[in-house]
């Protein structure tokens, strides 16, 4: 589904883009980024198509979706720094003592470089 078709479907479902994002708990910016790409993901296309059909049949899809108590997803990952991969120290998490966190030791790069120069 193209972004233009998606926007037309929102009109058919009588919901604005910001309200659609709020309803299904996704970022408005994330959805707007598909405008540049041209197409929306299949899951978004399926959702908006279902909303249109439900609206045409007189079903209050907003109430159905709100009843799901969806939560907004947040990014928690990303790339690890090189120092996070090498030489790990384990400590208990302050949030949950049963979970251990791994932490890289701090390295003094000036001393390391100086040692290498002395060895040569």
pLDDT tens sequence across 49-102 = 999 999 999 999 999 999 898 888 776 655 555 445 555 554 555 555 555 555
Q: In the chain, how many domains are there?
A: 1
| Domain assignment present for 31 | yes
| Domain assignment present for 62 | yes
| Domain assignment present for 103 | no
| Domain assignment present for 24 | yes
Tokens of 94: 């302050």
DSSP letter for 38, please.
S
pLDDT tens sequence across 16-59 = 999 999 999 998 888 888 988 899 999 999 999 999 999 999 99
| Domain assignment present for 10 | yes
| Domain assignment present for 115 | no
Q: For 52-65, b where at least 16 C-beta lie within 10 A, e where not — what string?
A: bebbeeeeebbeeb
Q: Is 103 helix (H, G, I), strand (E, B) or coil?
A: strand
**Containing structural domain, residue 34:** 3-66
């Amino acid at each position: 589904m193209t972004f233009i078709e998606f926007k037309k479907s929102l009109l058919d479902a009588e919901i604005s883009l910001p309200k659609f994002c709020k309803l299904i708990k996704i970022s408005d910016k994330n959805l707007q980024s598909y405008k540049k790409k041209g197409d929306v993901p299949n899951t978004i296309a399926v959702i908006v198509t279902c909303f249109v059909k439900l609206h045409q049949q007189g079903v209050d899809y907003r109430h159905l979706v709100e009843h799901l108590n969806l939560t907004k997803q947040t990014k928690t990952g990303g790339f690890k720094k090189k120092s996070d991969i090498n030489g790990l120290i384990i400590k208990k998490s302050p949030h949950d003592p049963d979970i251990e966190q791994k932490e890289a030791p701090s390295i003094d790069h000036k001393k390391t470089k100086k040692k290498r120069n002395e060895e040569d």
